Amino acid sequence: MDQQAVNIRSDHKVIYLNHMGDDKEIVEDARTSLRSNMVGRSMDRNLSAKDTERISDFIRFRHASTLRGSVLKLGIETTIAMQRQLRTHWVGNKQAWADWEWEENDIFGFNDQSGKFARYKPTFYVPSFEMSRIEVDGFNPMKPEYRQCTPEEYEILKQLMVMEYTNVWNTYQALNNRLYSRELTRMIIPEGMYVAGRMTLNLNAAFGLMSLRIDHPENITTTKPQAEIQQIAEGIEEIVKKLWPAAHQAWNENGRTRP
């Protein structure tokens, strides 16, 4: 069997695709409770000082419904392992349909590349030297502490990861060439393989994800996220900050916690 080289990456890409709403949308949604009749969307999207104060109050007092009318759609290029971590932010909202019930989420959704329908491509994750780490003595996964790899330790890590990725990929290719079901051959793929996904979340869900996945000195709640998922969350924060600057500032000033 001819050995095929694999491609290696060390990044996690967050790509803006689309969004709905702005800072003014948050204020307008909140004002709905005071309206005696329905009105259209204001053409003036500038915030008054009072609007900015209200947004801060919504976040401080956790009026999360005002944030759910603003929605962000992102493209994510990352590993299967990180997609699994992103999926933990789904919050089920039980809906009744006909004579049965099912879980539907109305604030966070993920559609991703599936090896059931398309053959994978040989691109895998190896951390950069700066992202490499070794568990310290007495390691506690709930309060993880690491030290930086030495150059020698990093080379061993890189060589072993690439060797294993190459072995798995060539086995995967051999099975596919024999036309075994792709539903089955995908089972051997490791979590370090890159896949593409499209993530849709409202602003409240975005703040919730960022609050747990970014270790920041202003956080009210201490969190110790995996470094790779923090890179993704920081990419999301940059986009949120640009699209909803007043809400982001209020969230940051109020402890960077979920409203």
Domain ranges of the chain: 7-29+51-123+194-253
CATH of 7-29+51-123+194-253, one of 1.10.8.100, 3.40.50.720, 3.60.21.10, 3.30.1360.170: 3.30.1360.170
- Joined together, the tokens standing for residue 12 give 């996690």
Nearest to 25 by CA among 73, 71, 57: 71
Question: Over the stretch 95-144, which tens digit does the pLDDT of each residue have?
Answer: 344 444 444 444 677 788 888 888 899 999 999 999 999 999 999 988 89
Write down the pLDDT at residue 90: 65
Percent over 70 (pLDDT), the chain: 89
The predicted structure's pLDDT at residue 7: 96
Residue 228 has pLDDT above 50, yes or no: yes
Orientation angle between helical segments 227-243 and 245-253, nearest 10 degrees: 130
Give the global pTM.
0.89
Using the predicted structure, report yes or no on whether residue 242 has a pLDDT greater than 70.
yes
Cβ neighbours of residue 158 closer than 8 Å, sequence gap 6 or more = 126
Please choose, from the candidates 258, 251, 240, the residue with its C-alpha nearest in 3D space to the C-alpha of residue 21: 240
What average pLDDT does the chain have? 89
User: Quick check: 232 pLDDT over 90?
Assistant: yes
DSSP for 173-237 reads HHHHHTT--HHHHGGG--TTBEEEEEEEEEHHHHHHHHHHH---TT-SS-----HHHHHHHHHHH
CB 86 within 8 A of CB 76: yes
State residue 221's pLDDT score: 86
pLDDT at 246 over 60: yes
